[in-house]
Amino acid sequence: MKKFGIALSLAGIALLAAYGTDYSQFAKPLSKDQEILHALNRLTFGPRPGDVETVRKLGVKKWIDQQLHPERITESS
């Protein structure tokens, strides 16, 4: 099974080399809004109304920390 995985990996590398795929677009830093949308799309089912503004106020790192520790989020009445 291990040989099969290595063969697939080598085949993937060969395909990338053959097609000359350019991944430089992934090296560009995201804008703040792109970063917020990326986090919301990856960590939730997408942004709901008001989510972008909430994450913008808190900052992405603090928002992610809150998602990992929901007991710290104050409940609204």
- The better pLDDT of the pair 16, 51 is held by 51
- The better pLDDT of the pair 2, 29 is held by 29
How far is 36 from 44, CA to CA, in rounded Å? 12
Query: Nearest 5 degrees, angle CA 21-CA 24-CA 27?
Result: 140
Q: Residue 68's pLDDT is what? A: 92
pTM of the predicted model as reported, rounded to 2 decimal places: 0.61
pLDDT digits (tens, 9 = 90+) for 56-69: 999 999 999 999 99
Q: Residue 46's pLDDT is what? A: 93
pLDDT digits (tens, 9 = 90+) for 8-48: 577 777 766 767 667 777 788 889 999 999 999 999 999 99
